[in-house]
Homo-oligomer: A and B are copies of this chain.
């Protein structure tokens, strides 16, 4: 397993459009798939009003993106820790415009109109190189 550099994490984050937002709510760390885009170092997420948004706003959250190939058993995972903030009328117009210009679509129909910015405090990642893992089928099963 290889730890990824900050630059590599940034590059990988820009290659995907679906990640998972984790927030603390209802006594659990809840995880939701979301669409996202990257604006500089900030993660822009679009979501509906509700549990996610209420729990995320001004809270410590994480955002996870990965790409894993089940066949070759290789892949990578990046975890962004940070603070989330809902973008609203209290923000500068240019920030609102820049956020909306990312064009992030809601993950689910009916999830409209609310934008979250996740300001990272740390970004870490790791990569699994093919061949490092044992084969999915354990040959000992045939002995």
- Residues of chain A at the chain B interface (Cβ within 8 Å): 1, 17-18, 20, 22-24, 26-33, 60-62, 64, 66, 68, 70, 75, 77, 79, 81, 103, 105-111, 126, 128, 132-134, 136, 138, 141
Selected from B31, B105, B110, B111, the residue in CB contact (under 8 A) with A62 is B31
Selected from B26, B79, B126, the residue in CB contact (under 8 A) with A108 is B126
CA–CA, A15 and B105, complex, Å:
28
Q: Which secondary structure dominates where chain A touches chain B?
A: strand
Stoichiometry, copies per complex: 2
CA–CA, A126 and B17, complex, Å:
19
CA–CA, A47 and B19, complex, Å:
22
